[in-house]
Amino acid sequence: MNIPGHLAVGVTQHHLFNFPPDKKTLTLLLVGSLFPDIADKTIGYILKLMPGGRHCAHNIFSLLASTMMIIRLGGKLAGYAWFTGYTGHLLVDSGRFIPWFFPFKAYNFPKGRGISFKPDLMAKETLLLVLAVILFYLNHAQRMK
């Protein structure tokens, strides 16, 4: 899944899990929904320190450690929003390789496909994101703080 798809899942999670309509919570949920790819694709494809684009941030230990850090910095609601977005990202990605227990389990990391975009998939995900944002505004626009 690409950025629009992950954001669509995050916006939908915000609605489904009935998060309060404030910008901080929504922002943390959405950043959490993108964080695994931002971290790992930067490390793997730009810095070339790891093979592929799923390793250091695509595992449960990174999920838990970053959530604890967010809770410490921003409180339980912030941590819950981060955890929800991050978990949604990992679950959506789970149709393909995810090193769930890295670095405590050895994996043969696939090379990955690099940073590339398929136009038809991007169009579908963008449409999904537009629908999720419409749903969000229909439910939260007047109450957004």
List residues binding Zn ion (CB under 5 A). 36-37, 93
Residue 64 CB, nearest approach to Zn ion (Å): 17
Return d(Cα 101, Cα 107) in angstroms, integer.
9
Residue 69 CB, nearest approach to Zn ion (Å): 19
DSSP secondary structure string, 74-104? H-HHHHHHHHHHHHHHHHHHTTS---TTTTT
For residues 135 and 15, the answer to whether their CB atoms sit within 8 Å is: yes
Residue 46 CB, nearest approach to Zn ion (Å): 15
Return d(Cα 31, Cα 119) in angstroms, integer.
23
Task: Pick between residue 83 and residue 140 the one whose CB is nearest to Zn ion.
Answer: 83
Sign of the torsion angle spanned by Cα atoms 10, 93, 77, 24? negative
Residue 103 CB, nearest approach to Zn ion (Å): 17
Task: Pick between residue 36 and residue 88 the one whose CB is nearest to Zn ion.
Answer: 36
Return d(Cα 81, Cα 17) in angstroms, integer.
10
Task: Pick between residue 22 and residue 93 the one whose CB is nearest to Zn ion.
Answer: 93
Task: Pick between residue 36 and residue 112 the one whose CB is nearest to Zn ion.
Answer: 36
